[in-house]
Amino acid sequence: MAQVRPMRADARRNRERLLAAAVEAFAAQGEGASLDDIAKRAGVGAGTLYRHFPTRRALLEAVYSDRIEAIAERAGELAERLPAGAALVAWLNELGLGMIQMRGLRALLSSSVGGGEEAGRGAGGASSDCCDPLRQAVARLVGDAQGAGELRRDVGAMDVLRLVHGVAMACGEAVGGESVGDAGDAGDAEGAEDVGERLRRYVGLLMEGLRARG
């Protein structure tokens, strides 16, 4: 699977620069950042970007695959330290937080989980993609939790993944502000809730619905 032939030195360096520029650009501008700009900031021609990363999605994957694998590995650690149900909740919170903090990651999972079409998968639709580790992780945690009688058996791992993805999208950006003088139509303490807090709250509510009832 690894490179058949080592890359030429300049090619390798250009790839590195492109990735560095892309990380910054995606973080600042979001997953729709201008590819031309990324190439410029990396100091290479536009063609070079396309040679290394033929699609925007390929670039996104290259940028985020490390983080994705890191999150997936957390599943194992949490599974050892916590009871099955708690491990699942904790992991879902970490995943959701990752999606909120890294818009590119959210876009990737979006197109990989069937949630929307930002950064589409391309017509080919090769099912195997960089989010497979996440799928495996959630499958394990969900299986454990069901085995321990802490999770309903009529939901699948993909359901859980999709729901948390949706909930994370629903939490919104780290924009802060929430439309100022809102004629109190939202009943409760809405005021200055942190996005992270809100995520935890929503994941909690969701899990309440997914919990197996005695």
Q: What does the binding site for a second copy look like in residue numbers (CB under 8 A)?
A: 30, 113-118, 125, 127, 135-136, 139, 142-143, 146, 154-159, 162-163, 165-173, 175, 177-182, 185-190, 201-202, 205-210
* CA torsion through residues 126, 132, 136, 141, sign: negative
Smallest distance from DNA to CB 49, Å: 7
Return the axis-axis angle of helices 35-42 and 56-81, rounded to nearest 10°. Answer: 90
R_g of the chain, CA atoms, integer Å: 20
Give the relative orientation of helices 56-81 and 103-113 as an angle to the nearest 10 degrees: 90
Distance CA 114, CA 77 (A): 28
- The residue count for binding DNA (CB under 7 A) is 24
Q: Using CB distances below 5 to 8 A depending on partner kind, what does residue 66 bind out of DNA, a second copy, none?
A: none
Which residue, 94 or 118, has its beta carbon nearer to a second copy? Answer: 118
DSSP label at 3? -
Q: How far out from the chain centre does Cα 57 lie?
A: 13
Which of 19, 24, 55, 121 is close enough to bind DNA by CB under 7 A? 55
Among a second copy, DNA, none, partner that 143 touches (CB below 5 to 8 angstroms by kind): a second copy
Rounded to a whole number of angstroms, the minimum distance from the CB of residue 45 to a second copy is 28
Q: Which amino acid is at 165?
A: H
CB neighbourhood size of 93 (10 A)? 19
45 touches DNA (CB under 7 A):
yes
Nearest C-alpha neighbor of 166 from the set 113, 88, 120, 122: 113
Question: Least CB distance from residue 40 to DNA, whole Å?
Answer: 9
For residue 135, state whether it binds DNA (rule: CB under 7 A). Answer: no
Is 56 a binder of DNA (CB under 7 A)?
yes
Q: Does 65 bind DNA (CB under 7 A)?
A: no
Question: What's the gap between Cα 13 and its chain centre?
Answer: 27
Per-residue CA distances from 40 to 31, 78, 110, 162 (Å): 17, 42, 28, 36
Q: Can residue 165 be called a binding residue for DNA (CB under 7 A)? A: no
Q: Which is nearer to DNA, 9 or 189 (CB)?
A: 9
What is the DSSP-derived secondary structure letter of residue 173? -
Q: Which region among 27-35, 69-77, 95-103, 181-189 touches DNA (by CB under 7 A)?
A: 27-35
Binding to DNA by residue 117, rule CB under 7 A? no
Residues of this chain that interact with DNA (CB under 7 A) are 5, 7-8, 10-11, 14-15, 32, 34-37, 43-48, 50-52, 54-56
